[in-house]
Structure 1
């Protein structure tokens, strides 16, 4: 099916990134190029240890993040950071999300341009 036939199919949305918790993890990591400690990431995203671990596994298998385990003051330290490819893919994903918002706003008859998003009346 051609793009013009299904303009709202959003085929480019990556389901690995589009899940709420993983979107939070990637958003946290893009702001911290040197990476984040597991505990800090858990706090920022409001996740449990097990839930965060499972999402990190998915992101790691997709090649979006790397996980480093080390010791700091004789305590295990897990650090998570975006891979170069993960950063590139996430920025492309964000650009696509921006396009989704522009398309939806255009369809709703609003022109958001670079302005802040307003809540549309129901």
Structure 2
């Protein structure tokens, strides 16, 4: 069986934390989201994007493309939005530390179970 998501950070159904975002949406860093499905409305050269649903009930910014020659607009809502795979870090329900958390000296399990780190 071929794993179509091989090499990607996330998969549909994962919980993930946003680790990077557009300059106008930097407040989203640290927000926990659920990965819904692959988002295919962007050009392939932009990389793999996921449709994600913020878990917080608090509205958060999202950059929305405008029609015509207008610049993108920042909209605050709690609706599903596209996010690039490389800017998400999946949260694993395991007590085993991964390589990056060992290097950082922070166990992953405390990172997502501690409410200080999750904007929910």
Question: Normalization by structure 2: what TM-score?
Answer: 0.25
Compare the two structures and name the one with the higher helix fraction: 1
Structure having the higher Rg:
1
